[in-house]
């Protein structure tokens, strides 16, 4: 079903043997009247085909901004990418012309948003919004685009797809709407899917269904999935690797089992300790003291040091801790990662 010609036409210079997606030293800032907010400060990560990378962090840590930067849909102004590169199959998307960048979107790199009700246009039918992709990117005829849209709704298991194609977003339930979003993102068979908190707006049983559907479609298509979330429960089930983000930096990166078993960064450890657990029922929940820093005034050194129990003098001074190799394929930006690991 993949249109080979369309794939090659998307962007000249694509190298199918190059890594799927590589983000290196990405810096994004928002220039506002109140000052410059440094939303992303040197995020680096990579993604392989068929792999799920979870980017985990609190609200405002820069994870959604990172996703928007990859998609190239950052509001500019006020948002500006000041440094770094985003390589898709070897091509730095930040250096590509806007018209070519547009073809990469949806075609090669697609995105699912958090709240499907506001993310879908309220005045057009879901059929129109799906078919639009085929009509604009593939030049499909009206009838052809419509039948492909029905196919897609079938694939995301929306019952009676044929008639629901003429319904408007507000006529769907929350879970069904998120399925429409998924169908829209997968329409042009992308290689990379970015899901920005795809289940946050849904209730728990529907969450599980949607995550299951995503995982299944990912397997079928061997897609790379970047899952942006603040929910450690969701992550544990589906992610292969986790990147923990704090104040615009990836502070720890590790395979999912390692991170749950032995976190190497105090922030990750604090996050894990703040999950409610059945075996600790009746006890006070552990919370991370303090608040995340304002992005206009990120502390010097390790941004987490004011809230950290392990912090010592070097943590308070620039430069920020480098990405120490904790183990193969595993890094942590903490001077005292050995102590945190309990070695």
- The piece of 125-133, 145-153, 232-240, 329-337 that touches another protein (CB under 8 A) is 125-133
**C-beta of residue 49 within 8 angstroms of C-beta of residue 20:** yes
Report the residue from 2, 32, 141, 171 that binds another protein according to the rule CB under 8 A: 171
Runs of H (alpha helix) within the chain: 4-9, 63-71, 98-104, 116-119, 126-138, 142-155, 161-164, 174-186, 204-221, 232-238, 256-261, 266-273, 337-341
Report the residue from 54, 81, 91, 106 that binds another protein according to the rule CB under 8 A: 106
For another protein, the closer CB: 192 or 270 = 192
Asked if 104 interacts with another protein (CB under 8 A), we say yes
Q: What is d(CA 83, CA 41) in angstroms, rounded to the nearest whole number? A: 9
What CA–CA distances, in Å, run from 336 to 122, 262, 324? 51, 14, 10
Task: Using the CB atoms, write b or e for 19-45: b if 16+ within 10 Å.
Answer: ebbbbeebbbbbeeeeeebbbbbbbbb
Asked if 118 interacts with another protein (CB under 8 A), we say yes
- The piece of 65-73, 271-279, 282-290, 329-337 that touches another protein (CB under 8 A) is 65-73
Report the residue from 119, 182, 227, 235 that binds another protein according to the rule CB under 8 A: 119
Asked if 107 interacts with another protein (CB under 8 A), we say yes
Tokens encoding 85 = 């590169």
**Binding track over 22-61 against another protein, x by CB under 8 A:** ----------------------------------------
Residues that bind another protein (CB under 8 A): 68, 71, 73, 102-107, 110-111, 113, 115, 118-125, 132-133, 136-137, 168, 170-171, 181, 184
């Amino acid at each position: 079903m993949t249109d080979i010609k369309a794939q090659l036409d998307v962007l000249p210079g694509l190298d199918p043997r190059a890594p799927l997606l590589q983000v290196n030293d990405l810096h994004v800032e928002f220039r506002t009247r109140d000052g410059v907010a440094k939303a992303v400060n040197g995020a680096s990560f990579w993604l392989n085909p068929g792999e799920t990378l979870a980017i985990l962090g609190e609200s405002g840590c820069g994870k959604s901004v990172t996703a928007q930067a990859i998609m190239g849909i950052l509001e500019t102004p006020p948002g500006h990418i000041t440094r770094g590169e985003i390589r898709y199959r070897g091509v730095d998307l930040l250096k590509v012309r806007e018209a070519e960048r547009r073809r990469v979107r949806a075609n090669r790199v697609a995105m699912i948003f958090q709240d499907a009700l506001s993310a879908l246009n309220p005045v057009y039918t879901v059929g129109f919004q799906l078919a639009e992709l085929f009509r604009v990117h593939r030049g499909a005829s009206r009838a052809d685009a419509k039948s492909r849209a029905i196919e897609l709704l079938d694939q995301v298991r929306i019952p009676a797809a044929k008639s629901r194609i003429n319904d408007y977003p507000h006529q769907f339930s929350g879970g069904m709407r998120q399925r429409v979003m998924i169908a829209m993102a997968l329409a042009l068979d992308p290689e990379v899917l970015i899901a920005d908190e795809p289940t946050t707006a849904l209730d728990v049983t529907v969450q599980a269904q949607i995550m299951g559907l995503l995982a299944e479609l990912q397997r079928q298509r061997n897609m790379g999935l970047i899952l942006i979330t603040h929910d450690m429960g969701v992550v544990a089930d589906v992610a292969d690797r986790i990147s923990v983000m704090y104040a615009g930096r990836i502070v720890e990166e590790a395979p999912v089992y390692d991170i749950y078993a032995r976190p190497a960064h105090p922030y990750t450890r604090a996050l894990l300790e703040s999950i409610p657990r059945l075996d600790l029922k009746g006890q006070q929940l552990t919370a991370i003291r303090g608040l995340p820093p304002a992005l206009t005034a990120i502390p010097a050194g390790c941004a987490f040091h004011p809230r950290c129990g392990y912090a010592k003098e070097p943590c308070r001074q620039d430069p920020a801790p480098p990405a120490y190799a904790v183990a193969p394929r595993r890094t942590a930006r903490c001077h005292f990662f050995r102590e945190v690991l309990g070695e």
